[in-house]
């Protein structure tokens, strides 16, 4: 990434901060990891009215359209982060602005503030250095999730753009319509993503989900990728909930189910805390009165897996069909193969051990 | 087994990624560049070997049996320890039954695909029956799931490497 690119970042910051007399970029470099966005960290020194402040920042950029996995909008993500930051106590980092004109960076981008705190949340578990903080951090994490799920949707999403942010035909006007149109989205897309018969476990899961709808709960704003890697913590508190690109209106059990699955895959123990409240789900139920069961979460693990399986397998199909040269999309075949026995287990396939 | 992408497509993808993503970063390091080129050459060699390795194995296996028998026959009545050892090989290994020709790979692949699509279509029909309240459709679904369950576990054991997603920060 050359100096010209960094100059574009400077120009974007000057557009966001029109009072800035001078902007300097330091230590610009990529952050490895993350399947869906290209992310860079840097510091910016901003000179305004004789003062000089150094700001730790992140540039989140869309990948090229042909290789993108999740089709989400940086403008919507920016607006949501700012709505949450300004209207709730949920800890998020400030989003400074977005650039949707692809001629600037090549793809849409946004600049957000880097949060303080530890992003290695595994330090909270097992013999990690921060096990003494785990109950307090997870308690705050649960309270933040409850606040998100109980927030007024129209306050955080005044234009209704999070009712169907991927533009796939979801109707979130009621819980039933949300669920039914989501099943339609899954089933309608199956032929499009279907590159080989062994994907039929997805078809089975879509049909099983449709046959076994659980009781309704009030729709809420959901994070959409609520997992042990998507928060930072410091001093017994969550410093920031991050990565809001998949946020949408949905069923609050989606976030809980996803966390339950990722907690298991990540070998963390979020769901076991706060211990004095009987764990994450018990505390969540205490705060909301929803009385959600683990069986319901099993349903929403499948529901959430389906939600991510559609775009991932769409990307793999595009690669297999020769639409791009991206190795990642081939690698996804290998890295996602381990998820299929897990799905088979949730669907209670005979002979698949628990 | 996962048949799409094919093994050849995966290997081709690695070759492309070495070209697109790695080579440009190696311009200042000739040794690393040569290593990357050797990697590409080896992978291309594997691509060329894979379609013929089973067929050649059978062909060579049968050819060696014939050769051992024919060698002793060509020797005639020569006496001595060396000749006896050659005749001994011809009388034992040279009498092995030849392996049958391998079935046509394209035909197997096509049949596998057709059967797979039939299993897949069963889910749609069983769903229709379950929604109509046919209780035995639950048992029938379990039959299909039992068949597939062991295959998903085997696939995961076969192709998954390590635990987790490389590069996921």
- Chain A environment of B123 (Cβ under 8 Å): 200, 203-204, 207
Run of H or E including B113: helix B105-131
Nearest CA in chain A to B143: A350
- Pick from A89, A93, A67: nearest CA to A323: A67
- Chain A environment of B169 (Cβ under 8 Å): 31-34, 229
Q: How far is CA A33 from its chain centroid?
A: 14
What distance in Å separates residue A201's CA from the closest CA in chain B? 8
Q: What average pLDDT score do residues B145-158 get?
A: 95
Query: What pLDDT is attached to residue A31?
Result: 82
Query: What pLDDT is attached to residue A278?
Result: 97
> For residue B39, which phi and psi values (nearest 5 degrees)?
-60, -45
Residue in B2, B131, B166 closest to A211 by CB: B131
A160 backbone φψ class: left, alpha, beta (φ>0; ψ -120 to 50): left
Across the interface, do A31 and B167 touch by the CB < 8 Å criterion?
no
Helix orientation angle between A175-193 and A200-211, rounded to the nearest 10 degrees:
160
- Chain A environment of B14 (Cβ under 8 Å): 327
Across the interface, do B116 and A198 touch by the CB < 8 Å criterion?
yes
What distance in Å separates residue A332's CA from the closest CA in chain B? 9
What distance in Å separates residue A33's CA from the closest CA in chain B? 4
Across the interface, do A350 and B145 touch by the CB < 8 Å criterion?
yes
- Pick from A186, A235, A243: nearest CA to A210: A186
Summarised one tens digit per residue, pLDDT across range A80-122 is 999 999 999 999 999 999 988 888 888 899 999 999 999 999 9
Nearest CA in chain B to A39: B169
How many angstroms separate the Cα of A306 from the Cα of each of A93, A186, B115? Answer: 29, 7, 24
Strands (E), B8-166: none
Return d(Cα A89, Cα A87) in angstroms, integer.
7
- Chain A environment of B147 (Cβ under 8 Å): none
Q: Sorting pLDDT into bands at 50, 70 and 90, what band is B163?
A: low
> For residue A240, which phi and psi values (nearest 5 degrees)?
-165, 135
Return d(Cα A106, Cα A156) in angstroms, integer.
29
Across the interface, do A337 and B159 touch by the CB < 8 Å criterion?
yes
Is residue B168 predicted with pLDDT exceeding 70? Answer: no
Q: Sorting pLDDT into bands at 50, 70 and 90, what band is A240?
A: very high
pTM listed for this prediction:
0.88
Is residue B46 predicted with pLDDT exceeding 50? Answer: yes
Instruction: Report ipTM for this prediction.
Output: 0.85
CB A187 within 8 A of CB A209: no
Query: What pLDDT is attached to residue B169?
Result: 39
Across the interface, do A330 and B5 touch by the CB < 8 Å criterion?
yes
What distance in Å separates residue B151's CA from the closest CA in chain A? 9
Across the interface, do A351 and B150 touch by the CB < 8 Å criterion?
yes
Which residues partner with A286 through β-bridges? none
- Chain B environment of A335 (Cβ under 8 Å): 160, 164-166
Return d(Cα A106, Cα A40) in angstroms, integer.
15
Across the interface, do B130 and A325 touch by the CB < 8 Å criterion?
no
Summarised one tens digit per residue, pLDDT across range A301-329 is 999 999 989 999 999 999 999 998 889 89
Return d(Cα A93, Cα A112) in angstroms, integer.
7
The residues, ordered by sequence, that sit 6+ positions from A25 with a Cβ below 8 Å of its Cβ are A6, A9, A10, A42, A43, A44
């Amino acid at each position: 990434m050359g100096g010209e690119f960094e100059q574009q970042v400077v120009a974007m910051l000057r557009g966001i901060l029109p009072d800035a007399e001078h902007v300097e970029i330091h230590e610009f470099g990529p952050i490895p990891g993350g399947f869906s966005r290209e992310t860079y960290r840097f510091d910016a020194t901003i000179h305004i009215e004789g003062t000089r402040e150094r700001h730790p920042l992140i540039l989140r950029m869309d990948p090229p359209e042909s290789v993108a996995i999740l089709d989400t909008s940086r403008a919507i993500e920016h607006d949501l982060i700012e709505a949450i930051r300004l209207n709730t106590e949920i800890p998020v980092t400030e989003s400074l602005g977005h650039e949707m004109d692809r001629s600037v960076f090549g793809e849409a981008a946004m600049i957000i503030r880097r949060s303080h705190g530890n992003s290695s949340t595994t330090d909270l578990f097992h013999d990690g250095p921060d096990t003494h903080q785990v109950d307090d951090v997870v308690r705050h994490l649960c309270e933040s999730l409850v606040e998100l799920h109980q927030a007024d949707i129209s306050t955080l999403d005044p234009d209704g753009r999070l009712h169907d942010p991927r533009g796939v035909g979801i109707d979130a006007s009621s819980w039933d319509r949300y669920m039914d149109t989501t099943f339609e989205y899954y089933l309608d897309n199956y032929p499009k993503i279907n590159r080989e018969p062994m994907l039929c476990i997805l078809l089975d899961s879509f049909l099983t989900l449709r046959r076994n709808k659980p009781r309704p709960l009030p729709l809420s704003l959901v994070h959409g990728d609520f997992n042990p890697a998507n928060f930072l913590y410091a001093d017994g508190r969550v410093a920031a909930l991050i990565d809001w690109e998949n946020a949408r209106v949905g069923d609050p059990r989606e976030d809980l189910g996803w966390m339950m699955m990722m907690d298991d895959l990540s070998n963390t123990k979020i769901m076991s805390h706060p211990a004095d409240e009987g764990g994450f789900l018990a505390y969540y139920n205490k705060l909301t009165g929803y009385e959600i069961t683990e069986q319901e979460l099993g349903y929403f693990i499948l529901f959430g897996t389906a939600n991510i399986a559609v775009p991932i397998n769409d990307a793999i199909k595009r690669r297999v069909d020769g639409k791009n040269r991206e190795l990642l999309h081939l690698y996804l075949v290998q890295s996602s193969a381990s998820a299929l026995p897990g799905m088979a287990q949730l669907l209670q396939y005979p002979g698949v051990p628990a | 087994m996962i048949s799409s992408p094919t093994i050849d497509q995966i290997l081709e993808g690695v070759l492309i990624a070495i070209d697109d993503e790695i080579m440009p970063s190696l311009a200042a390091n000739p040794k690393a560049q040569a290593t990357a080129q050797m990697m590409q050459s080896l992978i291309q060699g594997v691509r060329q070997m894979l379609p013929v390795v089973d067929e050649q194995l059978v062909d060579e296996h049968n050819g060696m049996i014939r050769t051992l028998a024919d060698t002793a026959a060509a020797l005639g009545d020569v006496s001595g320890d060396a000749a006896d050892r050659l005749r001994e090989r011809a009388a034992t290994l040279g009498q092995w039954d030849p392996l049958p020709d391998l079935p046509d790979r394209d035909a197997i692949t096509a049949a596998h695909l057709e059967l797979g699509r039939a299993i897949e279509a069963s889910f749609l029909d069983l769903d229709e029956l379950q929604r109509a309240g046919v209780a035995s459709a639950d048992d029938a679904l379990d039959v299909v799931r039992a068949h597939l369950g062991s295959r998903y576990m085997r696939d995961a054991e076969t192709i998954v490497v390590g635990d987790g997603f490389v590069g996921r920060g």
